[in-house]
Amino acid sequence: MTRLLLLALLTCLTSRVMGKIFGRCELAQMLKEAGLDGYRGYSLANWVCLAFYESHFNTGLVDHEADGSTSNGIFQINSHLWCDDLMHPSPNLCEVHCSDLLTSSLNDDITCAMRIVQTPRGMGTWMAWRNNCEGLDLSHWLKGCEL
């Protein structure tokens, strides 16, 4: 038990040190460079909207869910299916450790998000996207950004 508590504390401290809160346009540029604009039919504005409502552009965010899983990083990728948190067995469909989603580098987050939107639910996998972005005019998410 003490070991688990120490691991959880260390993970939280590490994520705060390594995480980053992106600016809206800075994030949009990075996501565009990574090829997300139009990926699986989703505009760049959809990805920016998703990141805002999931994490407020914070790569270091960890949300502890009622089922014991965690949602991690800028897209709040859940440990139940998508990443390994070392505490609960999971399919780890993105083949990544959850702590890798908490750094200022978005490579693992983007790769995993691309895998998630390949599922039949697409971006609908994220409730925050369904409730705040789906079917809406999202042009304001990119307004003023030099893309």
- Tell me, yes or no, whether 147 lies in a domain: no
- Tell me, yes or no, whether 83 lies in a domain: yes
Contact 94, 100 (CB under 8 A): no
- Tell me, yes or no, whether 80 lies in a domain: yes
| Tally of structural domains, the chain | 1
Domain containing 130 — which CATH number?
1.10.530.10
**What is the tens place of the pLDDT at every residue in 53-103?**
999 999 999 999 999 999 999 999 999 999 999 888 899 999 999 999 999
- Tell me, yes or no, whether 102 lies in a domain: yes
Q: 8 Cβ partners below 8 Å, 6+ apart?
A: 87
- Give this prediction's pTM: 0.87
By percentage, how much of the chain surpasses pLDDT 70?
88
- Tell me, yes or no, whether 15 lies in a domain: yes
Q: Which domain holds residue 36?
A: 2-141
CA 123 to chain centre: 12
Contact 34, 42 (CB under 8 A): no
Active site residues: 54
